[in-house]
Amino acid sequence: MDKAANSNGNGRGAGDARVGDGRGAGIGAGNARGGGHGGGGCGGRNDASAYRPMKQATDGRRPLTAKEVALREERGVPKNYRGSVKERKAPVPADVNCAVWISNLPFGTTTKDIFNALRKDYPVGRVANVSVMPGTTERLNPGVRIVFFKHAPALALHTLGNGPAGFHVNGRRVKKVLWDRIGALEQPEGCRGNFHTRVLYMDGPRDVANMSNIRALIEGNIVYQTDQVGEYYAGDRGTVVWAFAKFSGQAQAAVMILRQKYKDMPEVTVLYGEDDCGMI
């Protein structure tokens, strides 16, 4: 089985493909982009050594502080939302903004619904973060904040969503695609030809490169949401391609944990895989 795709994103899948937990296929065994290795970091630094379990995973369901409650009230965020809610910063100008906001989504819209909409008809570019905000008493329908790595995909979705074709989620056209009020700036590309993405790609001995082993290593260290997972096997080799909802704190953390764990095993490859929402 090939360990990884080359720098042009080409790869050859092999083996008895198996999709994990009914969360969809759509990502192949050979779709990692770029080079790199399980023990490698950027600029000669082993970024795995910097990993610490995320605070959300170790805090459990601790009570919110008064400041956290106040920030949620100010931002209109439900108090049961456990993600990070930061103080307001100066808005990012629209001509460099990488984040869009879509409100009035169909009731019950999930993170996976958003990814399905993006990859089906609107594969505009690499997604850094999808955060679906549940409906509240003030805002009955949910909204979603979509952050891309680059401005161009955000601009493409903004243009499409407000044009004649529109952007559809679960069969319904959304009214508007707005620039997110706080916004986000472009993020680093990654290093050694391996673009940062929300997708983990791992190839190695079958007893190492499998979903059960990876879950055992990352659970308890990070809180994550899964878009889709693919498992592929050929002989004694295994490949796992795991698309998370977010790069930061999810795919990035998983890559760091696995690189740290297998840094002394050259037969194990841990990379960022291709995002089927686009690779811009």
The mean-pLDDT minimum among 63-72, 144-153, 252-261 falls in 63-72
Do 18-55+189-272 and 93-179 have matching folds?
A: yes
Is 3.30.70.330 the CATH classification of the domain at 93-179?
Answer: yes
- Here the tokens at position 73 are 């009230």
Q: Tens digits of per-residue pLDDT, 220-247?
A: 899 999 999 999 999 999 999 999 999 9
Assigned token pair, 6: 């080359």
**Type of residue found at 214:** I
Could you tell me which CATH number the domain at 18-55+189-272 has? Answer: 3.30.70.260
Structural domain spans, the chain: 18-55+189-272, 93-179
Q: What pLDDT digit, counting tens, does each position of 20-57 carry?
A: 443 333 444 444 444 334 444 444 334 444 555 555 55
Q: pLDDT tens digits for 207-220?
A: 999 999 999 999 98
pLDDT of res. 67: 81
DSSP states of 74-101: HHT--TT--S--PPP-PPPPTTT--EEE
Which residues have a Cβ under 8 Å from the Cβ of 219 and sit 6 or more positions away? none
